[in-house]
Amino acid sequence: MKSRLKVVCLCGAIVVGIVAAGGASAAKPKLAKPKPAQSEPVAAKPANPPSAAPAEPLNGIAQSFGKAGVSDCLSRVNQVTNFLIGSGPAGAVPFLPPSSVNRRIISTSMEVTQQNGVPTYASATFAPIGGQGCSVSYDAVAYWSNTCNDVATKVFGNMQSAGVLKQGVAILVAGANVRVFLMPAGQGCISIKKELLY
């Protein structure tokens, strides 16, 4: 993915801005995901990234982690952030440990722009497994103007209902390590997709 990288120091954190270059020459993430509906946020798609790392240039987020000394989880950072960003512009803040960056947990928080222009929040956390690869947990949070019942059937219709967490947050399931939580918010609904990759 060709991108422009802007790094700014903000309260001790590095802020990374990524703007995806359009056109046929822009590299696309090699991740299986359904074509989004008009109102579906990019970061909330119920798709599962494959375990293989993409063979493509590093995006701006992965480049910033690489410059900080991350190598073991770098291909996973590139893969998962490409999946969450899609083809739109995004901004990101990396979280790095004070030392031994390549051997400790790292994370990033992102603002992803949906196709309809509405921003979505996503975060991804990466943990190296001593030369054995990298485990990942990511969350994608989106607000919908529809009710949670509508969101469950129209957006996440391929997922199975698994009841509620306690009394008001519905759970949808797609696979052993994929959940979507639907929380009423006024007249609308907030979806939180969580997935673990090993």
Q: How confident is the prediction along the chain (198 residues), in pLDDT tens digits per residue?
A: 344 333 333 333 334 444 333 333 333 333 333 333 333 333 333 344 444 444 579 999 999 999 999 999 999 999 999 999 988 889 999 999 999 999 999 999 999 987 767 789 999 999 999 777 899 999 999 999 999 999 999 999 999 999 999 999 999 999 899 999 999 999 999 999 999 999
> Are 99 and 149 within 8 A, CB to CB?
no
> Are 112 and 59 within 8 A, CB to CB?
no
> Are 84 and 139 within 8 A, CB to CB?
no
Indicate the domain borders of the chain: 3-139+193-197
Q: What is the pLDDT of residues 29-49, one digit of tens each?
A: 333 333 333 333 333 333 444
Grouping H, G, I as helix, E, B as strand and the rest as coil, residue 113 is strand
Residue 45 per-residue DSSP state: -
Decide the pairing of beta strands 119-128 and 13-20.
unpaired
What is the maximal distance between C-alpha atoms in the chain?
48
Cα 197 to chain centroid, rounded: 12
- Calpha distance 197→76 (Å, rounded): 10
pLDDT at 154: 93
pLDDT at 55: 59
Q: Quote the pTM value.
A: 0.71
Cα Rg for the chain, rounded, in angstroms? 17
If residue 77 lies in a helix (H) or strand (E), which one and from where to where?
helix 74-85
Q: Is the dihedral of CA 89, 86, 126, 122 positive or negative?
A: positive
